Structure 1
């Protein structure tokens, strides 16, 4: 089972790993695009106003541009520890046992605008680049990534659970992947889409899938696994699942 996670805008600072080695990252087929984007982003950092415009940053976020300037020299850390925020707080990889962490590193991968796809143990620096960013002189990120990342994901010979947000899933859709929508249900039975806290619920799902000893091979077995964990999961056919959360729990 491969679980695809979205990245986060926020990144943990620092690290104790050696500087970025693009050729050491998993999925070496992605190295040429990774190299092009990383060099472009690092060079762009020399022009602060252009970086702000391309990355959608304010003056108060100039430290993010500084991170990009140091892409090839700053320390690295494992990808699952680099990304922070609501989803990654719920995933909480640092609290996993050694065996659970080994499964998480094997099963979890993060969609990245800069690196395309990183596995849990891939050593990466802090950076700033979003799926919707437009780098000067470059095609759209989707145009760059889809031709090379698409085949890599299509070649995965196991169940793929795609928890990426829409903009990152669009970089390289995975035909046949299981997706999960999160809905809030009120006492009167009416439902609405969970927005911000959608990330927390997907983080909990990711933690469950990262640590279970089960190996669901299709959407039906995955649904059964989630239901055994006490989640209210609906399946109306196809590869889409719906997690229904009581309204009073939707913001937790």
Structure 2
């Protein structure tokens, strides 16, 4: 199978009706960081809450000040909203395509760590790069999940669509593929999120299950310029046309 590594987003959709279940890896491995987050959010320390969320005003925090363990749950792939998720546009995909995303996408959350697109998570807020109390999320999850992810991904092809920051959570050691997007010969940075979302959408619509199938996939607006192989990484460079 093909597994797609993907980034989260600062924005979240509220609500949810999913039932609690075991997340990718194990819930026990996340217990310390989730408890630390919840203790800050449920405290009366407004400065600590604002720092954690990355907001300047407490009024902006209110939507996220909820007991993490008694909050409505939604699948991760439906929870996030932002540029990549806007271009994924999951609400216009059919049930089979959404199921593909839930089973084959691994999102690297700043709170929950690596989770499947179908894993049920609460509405939370952690500004990228922030510690959670005394815990550094990327180090916490790299230490606890590298071995588990190596085992989980052992027999899969890997397409890494994460932003570079999330390499800190997990470094792929087996052969894998990344994408780079060029516009007028220059690397696209912020809007790379949009094209990652479009690629993920094309994967779901095409039910792509291997890198071999992916290489035959035509994606509107993208044209392969070159393919580079550096050690265990294959980088496909696209021109935006």
Cα displacement (A) at 1:216 = 2.3
Moved over 4 A (4+): none
Q: 1:200 to 1:164 in 2, by over 3 A?
A: same
Structure 1 residue 179 displacement after superposition: 1.2
The answer as to whether partners of 1:42 and 1:68 remain within 8 angstroms in 2 is no
Distance 1:172 1:70, change over 3 A: same
**TM superposition shift of 1:136:** 2.6
Cα 1:137–1:159 change in 2 (3 A) is: same
Aligned with 2:129: secondary structure? Answer: coil
Structure 1 CA distance for aligned equivalents of residues 201 and 107 of structure 2: 14
Cα pair 2:52 2:126 within 8 Å, conserved:
no
Tell me if 1:35 matches 2:31: yes
Q: 1:146 aligns with which of 142, 148, 155?
A: 142
Root-mean-square deviation (CA, aligned residues, Å) is 2.1
Asked if structure 2 preserves the Cα contact closer than 8 Å seen for 1:232 and 1:244, the reply is yes
Shift of 1:102: 2.2
Which residue, out of 225, 228, 231, partners 2:216? 225
Q: Which of the residues 80, 83, 86 maps onto 1:83?
A: 80
Alignment correspondent of 1:188: none
Alpha-carbon offset, residue 107 of structure 1? 1.4
Number of aligned residues: 230
Deviates more, 1:81-90 or 1:97-106: 97-106
Q: Unaligned regions of 5+ residues in structure 2, if any?
A: none
From 133, 136, 142, the counterpart of 1:136 = 133
Contact in 1 for aligned 2:203/2:214 (Cα 8 Å) = no
Whole-Å separation in 2 of the counterparts to 1:134 and 1:40: 10
Query: Is residue 162 of structure 1 aligned with residue 163 of structure 2?
Result: no
Secondary structure at the aligned position of 1:132 is classed as coil
1:60–1:150 Cα change, 3 Å? same
Cα distance in 2, alignment partners of residues 78 and 192 from structure 1: 35
TM-score normalised by length of structure 2: 0.86
Whether contact under 8 Å (1:4, 1:164) holds in the other structure is yes
Cα distance in 2 for residues equivalent to 1:89 and 1:63 = 23
TM-score using structure 1 length = 0.83
Structure 1 distance, partners of 2:10, 2:97, is 26
SS in 2 for 1:232: strand
Q: Please give the per-residue CA displacement for 1:10-41, whole angstroms capped at 9, x wherever unaligned.
A: 000111234xx4x522322xx23421111111
Q: Is the 8 A contact 2:182 2:240 kept in 1?
A: yes
Name the residue aligned to 1:249: none
For the residues of structure 1 that align with 2:161 and 2:122, how far apart are their CA atoms?
A: 23
